[in-house]
Structure 1
Amino acid sequence: MNLNKYTAWARMGYAARGVIYLTIGSLAILSVLGASGSDADSKGAVMTIKSQPFGEALLVVLVIGLIGYILWRAIQGIGDADDHGTSVKGLAIRGGLVISAITHSLLCFWIIKLLLHSTDDASGQSASSTVSDYAGSDVTAWLVGLVGVIVIGVGLAHLYKGYTCGFKKYMAFPADKSEWMTRVCQFGLLARGVVWGIVGWVVLRSAIVAGSSDTKGISDAFEWLRTSPFGTWLILIVAAGLFAFGVYSFLEALYRRISK
């Protein structure tokens, strides 16, 4: 597959993801300082961007970037752009890339609805409650529990990728900057792995123990950290890590090898 024509879309996509995670990390840090009223998650990041001068124009640019990211993730997963192959491990990685394309498509759709002033978040009706209208609560709770297990797996994959520096084979860092760039990427991946692990645990526990099918996200992970010993310090460390993951995303936009 000739990937040259997708390079610009992929790089815009990584940059868009970088904007989101830089904002999430900043919101989490500000929340500890008592200076933020927005949730430290993707939607909170989007609302923060929208509140800035020319916010809606910025969101249009973000949507374009996310479309690029969705396209690139789909090519990675379905077209196997990174040569993961058809082994069990390779198919698991490619499946995760396809899921990433789907989840970011949902975020992109939500932003478009926000720009069209047609979101219904204010009604308080979550997606999970709509699902429960069509399936029994026990069934949906178990399905959400399965999602929790998958999210934990994603978190572990990020921890492994960060610990082993598995990302480096896809990057073309300048030789004189490689060391600090590698450390920033490691920190960001490890922090994101911790967050997804916590999100998965919160989802799994609420679904299986409490029988809940409510949606959970990054803000719930921070809330879990907040109630832990040394919660404030843990939030600051993880928030800094998510900020670092935003930097990692921008480094991917600049230095990731896209073409074979």
Structure 2
Amino acid sequence: MHENKNALLESAMRAGYGARGFVYLVIGALAVFAAVNGGEAEGSTGALNYLSRQPFGVVMVSAVAAGLFGYALWRFADAAFDLDDEGSDARGLGARFGQFLSGASHAFLGATATAIAIKGTQSEDNSAANWSAAVMGEPMGRILVMVAGGVTLGVGVYLFYKSWNATYRREIRRTTWTERLAPFVRFGLVAHGFVLLIIGGAILYAGWSVNPEHAKGVGEALAILETRPFGRILLGVTGAGLAAFSIYCFVQARYRLSPQLRAGDLPTLAT
């Protein structure tokens, strides 16, 4: 039974990382296209809408939705049972809370993908502002929004650290391909961390100012970049970085080793 549970979680993890990578590949490609040809970059909902309009779009979006729910399941289990051996000290609990939030955000994105597969194109309203407004309406909602912003900032900083020190190598199986793709993985982690710093700062400010309209998601963060000096260059580089982050997700989908799910003593990039 224990082995069956591990197999289920590992399958959910790999499908989830694959679906996540597919979404970021589309986001990154559309951002690069917008930087080169003009127009607006898209966030997660925009990327899913774009997929739904392609041949076999409903099938693709449905598969992505299933993968995103798998990723959410994996992250919830990861946070609850400490499958990555983060520990129970302050740092470990912070990491596991971040895993829980990641699971929640991808469950929401999976629900959005499901709605698009069933009903077609969905509104691209600022979902970050919508959920911030909903949370602020609850007791201690403002504090919760600020905590979410602070955690998002922390994850962004952590991704910079993860890239700089290549700590991701401890969780990736050593192969010729993972060695070759390492530069793209590190670039992708930096780009995603950069976008999360914008999002986290905006959410933190939304809670501080008690104005949910200040909260931003991926699409709005990319739109902010486009309005800065040399904005199209900045947008193009960031879009290429998010496409590189999709490579990180695909590498995780194929080669990730979780301490509690690992079968045997396989060598990692860090060994």
Q: In structure 2, give the amino acid aligned to 1:25.
A: G
Query: Corresponding residue for 2:212?
Result: 213
Query: Corresponding residue for 1:127?
Result: 130
Deviating more after overlay: 176-185 vs 18-27: 176-185
Query: Corresponding residue for 2:265?
Result: none
Q: How does 1:73-222 map to 2 (within 5 A)?
A: 73-117=75-119, 121=123, 127-128=130-131, 131=134, 134-135=137-138, 143-174=144-175, 176-209=176-209, 211-214=210-213, 215-222=215-222
Query: Corresponding residue for 1:70?
Result: 72
| CA contact 2:21–2:249 (8 Å) conserved in 1 | yes
Q: In structure 1, give the amino acid aligned to 2:235.
A: I
Q: Residues 119 and 169 of structure 1: is their aligned pair in 2 closer, same or farther, counting only changes over 3 Å?
A: same
**Equivalent residue for 2:35, pick from 16, 32, 36:** 32
Q: Displaced runs of 4+ in structure 1, greater than 6 A?
A: 122-126
Q: In structure 1, give the amino acid aligned to 2:28.
A: G
| CA contact 2:32–2:239 (8 Å) conserved in 1 | yes
Distance 1:72 1:112 in 2: 19
Deviation by residue 1:210-259 (Cα, 9 ceiling, x = unmatched): x4212411122212222222222211111111100001111111111142
The reply to whether residue 228 of structure 1 matches residue 228 of structure 2 is yes
**Equivalent residue for 1:58, pick from 54, 57, 60:** 60
Q: How does 1:1-12 map to 2 (within 5 A)?
A: 2=3, 3-12=6-15
User: How far has the Cα of 1:129 moved from its partner?
Assistant: 7.8
Distance 1:62 1:206 in 2: 30
User: How far has the Cα of 1:5 moved from its partner?
Assistant: 3.5
User: How far has the Cα of 1:148 moved from its partner?
Assistant: 2.1
Distance 1:196 1:188 in 2: 12
Deviating more after overlay: 196-205 vs 237-246: 196-205
Distance 2:244 2:104 in 1: 24
Q: State the secondary structure of the residue aligned to 1:65.
A: helix
Name structure 2 gaps, 5 residues minimum: 263-271
The number of residues matched between the two structures is: 255
Q: Residues 222 and 118 of structure 1: is their aligned pair in 2 closer, same or farther, counting only changes over 3 Å?
A: closer
Distance 1:203 1:257 in 2: 32
Distance 1:244 1:124 in 2: 25
Length-normalised TM-score, structure 2: 0.84
Distance 1:251 1:35 in 2: 31
Q: In structure 2, give the amino acid aligned to 1:173.
A: R
Name structure 1 gaps, 5 residues minimum: none
| CA contact 1:141–1:213 (8 Å) conserved in 2 | no
User: How far has the Cα of 1:173 moved from its partner?
Assistant: 2.9
Distance 2:132 2:236 in 1: 33
| CA contact 1:140–1:213 (8 Å) conserved in 2 | no
Deviating more after overlay: 81-90 vs 240-249: 81-90
| CA contact 2:188–2:245 (8 Å) conserved in 1 | yes
Distance 2:136 2:152 in 1: 24
Deviation by residue 1:171-223 (Cα, 9 ceiling, x = unmatched): 0131x3343322111111111001000111223334435x4212411122212
What RMSD over aligned residues (CA atoms) do the two structures have, in Å?
A: 2.6
Q: In structure 2, give the amino acid aligned to 1:241.
A: G
Length-normalised TM-score, structure 1: 0.87
